Amino acid sequence: DAMVIQNPRYQVTQFGKPVTLSCSQTLNHNVMYWYQQKSSQAPKLLFHYYDKDFNNEADTPDNFQSRRPNTSFCFLDIRSPGLGDAAMYLCATAGAGQMSYNEQFFGPGTRLTVL
């Protein structure tokens, strides 16, 4: 089945230690998104890729970076995680231009704990 996969599902890191979260998709979608969802809060868009074009949200901290080496994979790098970065990180994809509305397909998320 076509899907959005996130690895790992649970990640524990230490304060200040760089960490990378992974997302892959078999949907061949143009657009890939990264959202941050803190406990009991709404998912908040960090950035997205439209093909190879990177689009950062204005209020996304510099501590967060992303890479998209090919259509299928997208990575979220947190250079120096702080305690406030503990959250669920959701990856989503969308096939831009294929539908009149934007259905985003979400992965199961990676729950990040910072010790």
Partner 1 sequence: GEDVEQSLFLSVREGDSSVINCTYTDSSSTYLYWYKQEPGAGLQLLTYIFSNMDMKQDQRLTVLLNKKDKHLSLRIADTQTGDSAIYFCAESMGPSNTGKLIFGQGTTLQVKP
Q: Which residues bind partner 1 (CB under 8 A)?
A: 4, 6, 31, 40-45, 48, 50, 55, 90, 92, 94, 96-97, 100-109
Closest CA to 102 of 90, 111, 93, 91: 93
Nearer to partner 1, 48 or 68 (CB): 48
- E-assigned strands of 1-115? 4-7, 10-13, 19-25, 31-37, 44-50, 53-56, 64-67, 73-78, 87-94, 105-106, 110-114
Judged by beta carbon, residue 45 or residue 86, the one nearer partner 1 is 45
**Cβ distance to partner 1 smaller for residue 108 or 113:** 108
- CB of residue 19 vs partner 1: minimum separation in angstroms? 19
Residue 77 or residue 103: which is nearer to partner 1 going by CB? Answer: 103
Find the shortest distance in angstroms from Cβ 42 to partner 1.
4
CB of residue 67 to partner 1, shortest distance in Å: 18
First vs last C-alpha separation in the chain? 36
**Amino acid identity for residue 108 in this structure:** P
Q: Which two tokens stand for residue 98?
A: 């294929």
Q: Sign of the C-alpha dihedral, residues 60, 12, 84, 25?
A: positive
User: Least distance to partner 1 from the beta carbon of 80, Å?
Assistant: 26
